Copies of this chain bind each other. A is one copy, B any other.
Amino acid sequence: MLGTPPAERPTMPAAARPATDSRPSETPAKRRAGRPASAVLDQAVITSAALRLIGKNGYDGLTMAALARSLNVAPSALYNHVASKQDVLVLVEDHLASLVDVSAFGAGPWDEAVRQWAWSYRDVFSKHTPLIPVIAVLPVTDAPQTLAMYETVSEGLREAGFPQERIIPSIVALESFIFGSAYDVTAPADIFNPGSMAASTPHFTAAVESLAAQGHERPADVAFNLGLEALIAGLAAQRP
């Protein structure tokens, strides 16, 4: 499944404003304070700069100062366009949601669509785990692209015959599993090595070694596949 390279240019920002045409003319040098036509910043520009920064230096490198510097602007200038750093994270999150692949809904069997969506969703956010605490608690109103994703999935499940009142719980269950699994992808390879405590944990140690002996490239994928197939089967059983 595809990764999530840093978004190139103006990819559909997010909330609120239509924002003129965000064709980013490279304004290289200093500029004096000014107004509209020459405005340097808007939410789309901030979002793509944040993504570039994250891609290069990770989330530790995403500071308001670094973000401003990458845009040749004073840190305080950002606050004319976003209310807080949290706001920047929301913009980034919503952009990422638009990268999740929902194309299989309506184009094939529902379970295949769920599979494709879930793998894509996990892959996108496994590179952005610091956003998970943000999304998991974010009102959908603040994230239009995320909402659009839910709409597509909801429609898909509806057409597959799911009873209305089970659609949201099904999505939430899948999403919870996906978020947890995204963390799992980033865990160090030897996270389960019991080290000096192996002797006191024989069953666990045996299980770890037995899995290791299989020599899977990405153990996280084994667990994700197992859980996802179980969930899909379970959902299938709950349809009329």
Which A residues form the contact surface with B (CB < 8 A)? 2-5, 16, 58-60, 129-130, 132-133, 136-141, 144, 147-148, 150-151, 154-155, 157-158, 164-170, 172-181, 183-184, 186-188, 190-197, 200-204, 206-208, 210-211, 213-214, 219-220, 222-224, 226-227, 229-231, 233-235, 237-238
A173-B223, A176-B224 are known contacts; what are 11 more A-B pairs with Cβ within 8 Å? A2-B129, A2-B130, A2-B133, A137-B187, A144-B197, A155-B203, A164-B206, A169-B219, A169-B223, A176-B223, A230-B231
Chain B residues whose CB sits within 8 angstroms of the CB of A176 once the complex forms: 177, 179-181, 183-184, 223-224, 227
Contact of A201 among B138, B151, B193, B214 (CB under 8 A): B151
- Is the CB–CB distance between B164 and A210 below 8 Å? yes
